Structure 1
Amino acid sequence: MQRKYLAKIFVTLRPSVLDPAGVAVQSGLKQMGYDYVEQVRIGKYIEVTLISTDEDTARQNLDRMCDQMLANPVIENYRFDLIEVESQTGVY
């Protein structure tokens, strides 16, 4: 039986990588009076819906997708949450 999953993927720069966009946002926040903001890091949020026979296979496929396309493993970290949204009985 095929299952449908929703993956919520979070991609962030590695801590050692400079984040110029985050620095700009932090500066803007400080100019607006938010002096207590210590650091801002900008990342990406991606949702992917996929069909898989089981959760382990879905996780393995997502890991490959993130590593090969959705994130740059040299400078970015990623993590994802996987939620089964419904079971499918049709052929895909």
Structure 2
Amino acid sequence: MSHSSHQASTPTKHSAGVFDIRMIIGLLLLIYGVILTATGVFGDPAYDKTGGVNANLIAGVALLAVGGFFALWARLRPIIVDESKLPSAPGRPADR
């Protein structure tokens, strides 16, 4: 058995991983959530401008929850990319 025939039998499917849009959105929301939560905890709560609530803290915790949901969703139900169904790009070997 030659090495090239072994490569043809390897699966051409993989997950989108970090490039999954849900992961990108989740990570961005988590970053903003950390910033707003830290601002809400350590910064001026500005109760006179927000009607007596710490808006940064509430928005930060909400963003952490939604961002965590997106990241968890992307990890539990990954998008599978089947490379054999993608069109051949320049510089990429033709279908086997």
Name the structure where helix makes up a greater proportion of residues: 2
Instruction: Compare CA radii of gyration and give the structure with the larger one.
Output: 2
| Larger RCO, structures 1/2 (Cα 8 Å, 6+ apart) | 1
- TM-score normalised according to structure 2 size: 0.30
